[in-house]
Amino acid sequence: MDFRLLGRVGAATGAEELQLGPVKRRSVLAALLLKANSAVPVEQLIAALWDDAPPTHARTVVQGHVSRLRALLASAGAGEHGVGLMTQGPSYVFEVPETLLDTCRFERLARRGRLRQRPADAVAVLGEALALWHGPALDGTAPSAPLRAAAQTLEEARLDVVESLAVAHERLGDRAGAVAVLQAEAAAHPLCESLAEALILALYRAGRRSDALDRYHRVRCLLADELGVGPGPGLRGAYETALRGGPVGAGGGGPVNLLPAPGASPAPVPDARYEADARYEMAGRYEADALLLAPAGRPPAPAGPAPRLLPRGVRGFLGRGTELAALDRITGAGNGAVALVTGPAGVGKTALALQWAHHRQARYPGGTLFADLRGFGGVPVEPAETVREFLIALGVPARDLPDSSAAAAALYRELTARRALLVVLDNARGTDQVRSLLPSGTGSAVLVTSRIRLSGLIVEELARPVPLDVLGPVPATELLAAAVGEERVAAEPEAADRLARLCDGLPLALRITAAQLAARPHWRLADLAAELADEQRRLALLSLDEAEESGVAAALRITVQGLPPEAVRLFALLGVVPGPDLERYAAAALLGRDPAVAAEALDRLAGAHLVTEYAPGRYSTHDLVRLYARGLGTDEGALLRLLDGYTATALAASLAAEPGEKPCCTLPREAPADAPVRTFADRSAALRWYAVERENLAAAVTAARAAGHDDRAWRLAVLQWPYVVWSVRDGWAPLLEQALEASRLLDDPDAESRVRALLGWVLTREGQLSEALAQLELAPALAARAHDPSSEAIALVNLAVALDADGITDASLRHVTRAVRLAREAQDVLTELLALQHRTHQLLARGDIAAAERCTAYALALDDHGVTTGLGALRRAALRLSRSEALLALGERDAAESCTRQALAEAASQGFQEGVNRARSQLEALGRPVDLPAAPKGGDRPVRS
């Protein structure tokens, strides 16, 4: 098993990745792993999930995510690896061996690498440490202050190892290796002075003095522009070393001394031009000696024009350091690399491409070509037309252009074979638009942007994707500040944060919002936030000029155009989805089609960045996309189809989770009986589905109530009972209270009795006895009215459990006796076991040991039709433990030990921790060794339901 914080937060068992679900659950896991094997108070977890004031139900949300993590770990067999998520008072402890956590392995390897005496060993070990990183630390978590600080600390530790690795390469004599290690990191962290200092010295020692001086001035410019400061002493010292120390000799000798002899006139320093104003234009600085700066291995530009066709970049560009660094890595590989920037409409793909291209075009002495292919808006540009424009830019007179498209493409390939070109192709809709525009020279690079996933370009041209997502809260607020003024944002920080959230972090929406504020200088930020909070008006406000069809809605409309009919229809139904995400079975229910058709439609929408596949097979949408979809007009039956799909699947999950139990309900009469439903291989698969879909099912209950579908609402709540049993303290009461209101409106005694029985049991386990009794005292009579003896028996047992919390009463004894009789008459063995289990507990508590022994003997002899898992197995384990207590009290120690060991084995196999603990205590009381493995640490599985 493996847990990862160095990159996207994740966990895996072997080759199987655990599906952690939404961002907040991933953030809870990250916060626990950052303090692995230590107690983490709930308050710290809340702080990790919400950067601003947490909601009133924050504690319940955290408990819910912890519960779902427990279920996920249990289903993955985490206990076998020594992994568990334990409750310790008001805190949680994530127990995990250090060898399973990548941060611990990284620290250990970094420490070992620095201690290695032989440079080759140090390079190997430090390289192994860095190989553990797969992206920015804590990627995929909430942008809260604690997690941002932790990510920064981890990143600083990584950079320390990078610098140590460069030193090890130097000791090994591999100066090129030292440069290569530092160059990529310096590009990703352009303001880190220690990295810049190390790189300047490494370049100088590698004989690349001009590059070293260039690097210094680039960093000096950035420090002045971004921070308003000059270089520190270390960086200035590295510069002076490179400037005055002279180049390294070809034979690897020492530097040449350029200082004048005493009394002589100072010799001119060849690189004194670098002392000029630091604010020069970086892109054009080396036009005069572009051949000198062409990357190694690239052919020099032939005689002829060096076109510079880039349009002006977007003003106020901020952030995107990760993506800019990715473009550096892709294009730095040479061999005619193709980088593909993809993302939703308005996310800033063109801005990113132009920002990078303007700062890197000096690397390409053959010139820079640019074309807007207009794949999303207007008439798409024909490739042949673009080829002709490129040929003219490359110096071919218009009168000499070939007549045919094939001849023009051939001439383009010929002219680009010996050039080092940068080609930027913006807004491509398909691979065919791009293919003929790719230069043939291996020294060139191509940057393509598109709203859709150009799989053909990836397959045919080995294009490397650079996905671009919306901005996080901090950069989104910074973009607003850059556009409307820092003073205005600083005066209303909470309103600025709210505007960023209402804009979904979409740069297009943020810039339109800034334009609205600029046009209304008398408005407060809070005024516009209040306007945008109205979902009916939000998209209209995020449009500058309807006549020009500009804005978020227009961008989304253009993206949808051209998609297959089923994808367009599914997109229009996304506004119906009440929960945070969906998968193919939910999409199939919405469409009323086969899951395979729904999966294809989801894939098309994901390819167009209208939905996001955040985990395999699970898709989410941004709020602005959902609002736009909601306005497209809805299929009146879509919500009901979705509710029925969830209900049918929940029914299948309950039957798979507890195969011996009678179904707690049937499908509504109007629900289609032949709708495709997910199947579950076993109990673990069913419990995993409950954990993953919990938020969707809760949202579906709320949506069903709002739409008047109360017959669906109560079913969707009570059908989750197997998972409620597993995680009873995870805040189920609000959901069940909604279900209770729905059942009362239906005047359905069967529904009301089941909801009250489950809600009362939950409240009992939460210690709210008076509230529990208010529900449980009504449940048995309602079940009797519905003529369901099994339901009445369960309600009576749950009532007895609540009554017995303060001591055994005669009333509770009568309730359990009647429950046993009802279950026996209904031939419901599992419910009878439940009643007998509590009956034994009552007898032991009253000191009637002989009767308790007889009760357990009878119960364990019942035929439960071979049910060996789930609640049946748990009830048998609990009955064996009670029987062991009775036998021990009767003096039959050997029989008590045998019974206890059977119970321990059953409890351990089911992850029933309470039973494992009781069995161990009883064995210790007998003075017997505990020689069975610990139960899987997946949570405290209760006995009763």
User: Hey, which residues does 426 pair with through a beta bridge?
Assistant: 372
Q: Averaged over 607-632, what is the pLDDT? A: 85
Q: Which two tokens stand for residue 451?
A: 């709203």
For the chain, what is the mean pLDDT? 83
- What is d(CA 531, CA 554) in angstroms, rounded to the nearest whole number? 20
- What is d(CA 61, CA 66) in angstroms, rounded to the nearest whole number? 9
Instruction: Give pLDDT, residue 430.
Output: 87
**H or E stretch including 711?**
helix 710-718
The DSSP secondary structure of 908-940, one letter per residue, reads HHHTBHHHHHHHHHHHHHHT----SPPPP-S-B
pLDDT, tens digit (0-9, with 9 covering 90-100), for 837-860 = 899 999 988 889 999 899 999 988
Query: Mean pLDDT: which of 199-208, 347-356, 697-706 is highest?
Result: 697-706
Q: Which two tokens stand for residue 309?
A: 């066709």
Q: Which amino acid is at 342?
A: T
Whether residue 865 is predicted with pLDDT greater than 70 in this model: the reply is no
pLDDT, tens digit (0-9, with 9 covering 90-100), for 631-655 = 787 677 899 999 999 999 999 999 9
CB atoms within 10 A of CB 264: 8
Q: Which two tokens stand for residue 642?
A: 């979705």
Which range has the worst mean pLDDT, 32-36, 374-378, 455-459?
374-378
Q: Averaged over 499-512, what is the pLDDT? A: 84
Residue with tokens 């009394």: 263
**What SS3 class is residue 662?**
coil
Q: Which two tokens stand for residue 904?
A: 């321990």
Scored b (16 or more CB within 10 A) or e, 235-244 reads beebbebbbe
How far is the first Cα of the chain from the last one, in angstroms, to the nearest whole number?
Answer: 32
Using a pLDDT cut of 90, give the percent of the chain over it.
32
- What is d(CA 582, CA 641) in angstroms, rounded to the nearest whole number? 14
Higher-confidence position of 473 and 855: 855
User: Hey, which residues does 447 pair with through a beta bridge?
Assistant: 339, 424
Instruction: Check if the beta carbon of residue 937 is closer than 8 Å to that of residue 73.
Output: yes
Higher-confidence position of 24 and 378: 24
CA triple 894-895-899, angle to 5 deg: 120
Instruction: Give pLDDT, residue 447.
Output: 95
pLDDT, tens digit (0-9, with 9 covering 90-100), for 738-780 = 999 999 999 999 999 999 999 999 999 888 999 999 999 999 9
CB atoms within 10 A of CB 360: 21
State the DSSP code for 264. S
Whether residue 7 is predicted with pLDDT greater than 70 in this model: the reply is yes
Burial of 689 (0-12, 13-18, 19+ CB in 10 A): buried
- What is d(CA 805, CA 842) in angstroms, rounded to the nearest whole number? 11
- What is d(CA 62, CA 56) in angstroms, rounded to the nearest whole number? 12
Residue with tokens 């510079």: 308
Residue with tokens 């798409």: 380
